[in-house]
């Protein structure tokens, strides 16, 4: 049985059938071109119109179109030595999946799948940035903390238009990622379009091997009291355990409050977000998952809270997505935390990853999720209680007004002038 990263399902069998069918296609008897033409005419005459779906085409389609293309290329293409089976299979799978129009539903080649799995384990080689395809453009969700991309100044919402002077307008996200990746110590030049910059510009990044720590924690001492600071960089396998270890170290510190920083955190496992929210909530719902059939599935706290009293601030920005938004939304709706920063990315869907033969995989959007109050995050993301901007220039200079605002929030009303409090957004 195929390994499933999230949830267990066998709905992938039609796709596996397609891939295997194409692989053994060379063993099938050669069809007459006239017969093939009749099949394709039927397809375009009504069976394959824009209103048709896989469910009502299963019997009539029989993948004749793909098989026909395969045969015609095999018979007529000028350079038969270029008709390599594996790249063509991957290309067919990529094209079929991308035609759905959902930027989060993607086919991953063995190399892309390996990179994806490594990213969840925290070990990466390359520039360290999460990318998506949005309106046929390659857009940066967030550079990973401590990565070459972050050090070079790559920012959320940057649009990549070229890699090493090669226009990528016609390429898939997987193809672009493969261009960007490369051996440690080598350089890649990205051409960037940024809303705040009038003209496109080149950004040079030196690739490296780096480890992204899942959780980082420290106690920030001030003259007015100590603040616990926890940065969650991803929601991987060990994140909840690591955060619990950090939080237990805060127990005897007599903290004024705790800051949970999920800025530039593009997400990870849903289950980890639920576990982490459970550490700070006594009871209640964390998130609701609405699938295409049936009633929404509600995820509640696990009943093993660690700290339900210490005041919390959650820092978010435009690079906070997916599991980061689940955590922030749950703590916000429960009035357990104040949210400070910028509006989050707004990724309100859940993907399941299905392992395929040969090391490739398919990531499928299978559900959307709602905050405990029913907010659909795909429409607006998480809105901060206190809006604080942080410019690229401030990041480059090491200035962090969002963190300063979070620190100041715990001392509001005390008369301290050590860290200025920030007024709520209108």
**Is residue 35, in this structure, part of any structural domain at all?**
yes
Q: List phi, psi (to 5°) of 227.
A: -125, 130
- Does pLDDT of 56 surpass 80? no
Looking at residues 404-409, what average pLDDT do you find? 96
Does one domain contain both 205 and 236?
Answer: no
pLDDT of residue 305: 95
pLDDT confidence tier of residue 212, bands split at 50, 70 and 90: confident
Beta bridge partners of 102: none
Q: Specify the pTM.
A: 0.70
**Is residue 1, in this structure, part of any structural domain at all?**
no
**Angle at Cα 337 formed by Cα 332 and Cα 339, nearest 5°?**
70
Domain end marker among 178, 211, 244? 211
Looking at residues 401-419, what average pLDDT do you find? 78
CA distance 227 to 332: 20
Does one domain contain both 134 and 239?
Answer: no
Domain end marker among 144, 176, 211? 211
pLDDT of residue 263: 94
Does one domain contain both 231 and 148?
Answer: no
pLDDT of residue 21: 28
For 205, the 3-state DSSP assignment is: strand
Residue from 100, 16, 14, 89 nearest 355 by CA: 16
In this structure, are residues 161 and 189 in contact, taking their beta carbons and an 8 Å threshold?
no
**Is residue 162, in this structure, part of any structural domain at all?**
yes
Looking at residues 5-22, what average pLDDT do you find? 28
Higher pLDDT, 277 or 182: 277
**Is residue 426, in this structure, part of any structural domain at all?**
no
CA distance 64 to 43: 9
Q: Which of 88-102, 189-203, 394-408 has the highest mean pLDDT?
A: 189-203
**CA 203 vs CA 126, 132, 153, 207: distances in Å:** 15, 18, 8, 13
- Does pLDDT of 225 surpass 80? yes
Task: State the DSSP H helix or E strand holding residue 271, giving kind and residue range, or none if neither.
Answer: helix 270-280
Higher pLDDT, 370 or 380: 370
Does one domain contain both 192 and 254?
Answer: no
Domain end marker among 43, 72, 103? 103
pLDDT confidence tier of residue 123, bands split at 50, 70 and 90: low
pLDDT of residue 423: 42
Determine the structural domain holding residue 397 and report its residue range. Answer: 215-409
CB atoms within 10 A of CB 254: 8
Does one domain contain both 203 and 316?
Answer: no
pLDDT of residue 339: 98
CA distance 257 to 331: 15
Task: State the DSSP H helix or E strand holding residue 289, giving kind and residue range, or none if neither.
Answer: strand 285-291
pLDDT of residue 124: 63
- Check which CATH number belongs to the domain holding 164 and give it: 2.30.42.10
- Check which CATH number belongs to the domain holding 271 and give it: 3.90.226.10
For the chain, the average pLDDT equals: 81
Pairing of strands 257-261, 312-316: parallel
pLDDT of residue 117: 75
CA distance 203 to 143: 13
**Is residue 111, in this structure, part of any structural domain at all?**
no
Does one domain contain both 233 and 272?
Answer: yes
**Is residue 237, in this structure, part of any structural domain at all?**
yes
Looking at residues 383-402, what average pLDDT do you find? 89
- Does pLDDT of 407 surpass 60? yes
CB atoms within 10 A of CB 67: 17
Per mean pLDDT, which range of 21-25, 148-152, 164-168, 207-211 is the poorest?
Answer: 21-25
The beta strands (E) that lie in 144-274 are given as 159-163, 166-167, 187-193, 201-206, 208-211, 215-222, 225-232, 257-261
Does one domain contain both 312 and 359?
Answer: yes
Residue from 181, 91, 193 nearest 134 by CA: 193
Does one domain contain both 138 and 36?
Answer: no
- Does pLDDT of 17 surpass 70? no
Q: Annotated active-site positions, please? A: 322, 333, 347
pLDDT of residue 418: 46
Residue from 343, 338, 337, 294 nearest 317 by CA: 343
Beta bridge partners of 107: 362
Q: What is 17-71 written as a DSSP string?
A: HHHHHHHTGGGSPPPPHHHHHHHHHHIIIIITSTT--GGGTHHHHTTHHHHHHHH
Does one domain contain both 223 and 362?
Answer: yes
Looking at residues 135-140, what average pLDDT do you find? 89
Nearest-10 Cα torsion for 185, 190, 195, 198: 110
Per-residue pLDDT tens for 297-351?
Answer: 999 999 999 999 999 999 999 989 999 999 999 999 999 999 999 999 998 888 8
pLDDT of residue 266: 86
Does one domain contain both 38 and 132?
Answer: no
Work out how many domains the chain is built from and give that number. 3
pLDDT of residue 372: 95
Backbone dihedral region of 407: left (phi > 0), alpha (psi from -120 to 50 degrees) or beta? alpha
Looking at residues 378-401, what average pLDDT do you find? 88
CA distance 392 to 203: 14
pLDDT confidence tier of residue 161, bands split at 50, 70 and 90: very high
Per mean pLDDT, which range of 251-255, 262-266, 332-336 is the poorest?
Answer: 251-255
- Does pLDDT of 276 surpass 80? yes
CA distance 250 to 244: 10
pLDDT of residue 328: 97
Provide the percentage of residues in the chain whose pLDDT is more than 90. 48
In this structure, are residues 248 and 298 in contact, taking their beta carbons and an 8 Å threshold?
no
CA distance 287 to 332: 12
- Does pLDDT of 48 surpass 90? no
Does one domain contain both 80 and 163?
Answer: no
**Is residue 113, in this structure, part of any structural domain at all?**
no
Does one domain contain both 221 and 340?
Answer: yes
**Is residue 143, in this structure, part of any structural domain at all?**
yes
């Amino acid at each position: 049985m195929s390994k499933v990263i999230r949830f267990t399902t066998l709905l992938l069998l039609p796709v596996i059938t397609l891939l295997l069918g194409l692989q053994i296609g060379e063993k099938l008897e050669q069809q007459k071109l006239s017969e093939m033409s009749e099949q394709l005419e039927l397809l375009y005459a009504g069976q394959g119109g824009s209103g048709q779906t896989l469910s009502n085409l299963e019997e009539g389609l029989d993948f004749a179109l793909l098989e026909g293309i395969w045969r015609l290329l095999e018979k007529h293409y000028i350079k038969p030595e270029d008709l390599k089976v594996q790249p063509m299979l991957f290309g067919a799978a990529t094209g079929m999946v991308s035609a759905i129009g959902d930027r989060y539903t993607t086919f991953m080649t063995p190399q892309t799948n390996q990179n994806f799995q490594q990213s969840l384990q925290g070990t990466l080689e390359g520039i360290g940035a999460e990318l998506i395809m949005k309106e046929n453009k390659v857009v940066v969700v967030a550079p990973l903390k401590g990565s070459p991309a972050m050090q070079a100044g790559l920012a959320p919402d940057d649009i990549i238009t070229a890699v090493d002077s090669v226009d990528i307008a016609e390429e898939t996200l997987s193809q672009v990622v493969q261009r960007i990746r490369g051996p440690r110590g080598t350089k890649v030049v990205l051409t960037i379009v940024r809303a705040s910059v009038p003209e496109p510009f080149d950004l040079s990044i030196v690739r490296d091997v780096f480890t992204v720590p899942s959780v980082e924690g420290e106690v920030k001492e001030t003259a007015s009291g100590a603040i616990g600071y926890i940065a969650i960089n991803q929601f991987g396998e060990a994140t909840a355990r690591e955060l619990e270890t950090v939080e237990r170290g805060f127990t005897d510190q007599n903290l004024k409050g705790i800051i949970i920083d999920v800025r530039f955190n593009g997400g990870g496992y849903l289950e980890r977000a639920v576990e982490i929210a459970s550490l700070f909530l006594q009871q209640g719902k964390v998130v609701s998952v609405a699938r295409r059939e049936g009633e929404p599935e509600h995820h509640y706290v696990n009943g093993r809270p660690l700290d339900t009293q210490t005041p919390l601030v959650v820092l978010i920005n435009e690079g906070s997505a997916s599991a980061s938004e689940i955590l922030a939304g749950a703590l916000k709706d429960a009035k357990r935390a104040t949210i400070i920063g910028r509006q989050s990315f707004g990724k309100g869907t859940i993907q399941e990853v299905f392992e395929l033969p040969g090391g490739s995989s398919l990531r499928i959007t299978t559900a959307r999720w709602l905050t405990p109050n029913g907010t659909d995050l795909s429409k607006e993301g998480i809105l901060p209680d206190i809006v604080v901007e942080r410019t690229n220039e401030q990041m480059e200079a090491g200035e962090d007004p969002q963190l300063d605002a979070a620190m100041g929030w715990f001392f509001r009303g005390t008369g301290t002038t050590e860290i200025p409090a920030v007024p709520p957004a209108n």
